[in-house]
């Protein structure tokens, strides 16, 4: 694990929903590897995928991808 700043909250919401990366990927129509890349901040999802992620996780796009104040100050 690294101490790199988190760029999104997808992992937190996925774990709270008790979904695996594969299950979330299936619900959104993408591969598990795509979910890994989004969670790791290596891939910025399209608007379509961001909306699907938010719907699958029962939240909003803003909740998933708005950086916290501490992230914005760095």
Token representation of residue 67: 């950086």
pLDDT band at 1 (very low <50, low <70, confident <90, very high): very low
Average pLDDT of the residues in 46-59:
97
* Cα radius of gyration rounded to whole Å, the chain: 12
Average pLDDT of the residues in 40-64:
96
Average pLDDT of the residues in 39-43:
92
What global pTM score does this model have?
Answer: 0.83
Neighbours of 14 (CB within 10 A): 21
């Amino acid at each position: 694990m690294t101490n790199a700043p988190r760029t999104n909250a997808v992992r937190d919401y996925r774990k709270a929903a008790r979904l695996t990366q594969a299950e979330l990927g299936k619900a959104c129509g993408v591969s598990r590897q795509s979910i890994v890349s989004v969670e790791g901040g290596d891939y910025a999802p399209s608007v379509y995928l961001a909306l699907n992620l938010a719907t699958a996780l029962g939240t909003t796009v803003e909740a998933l991808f708005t950086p916290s104040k501490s992230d914005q100050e760095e």
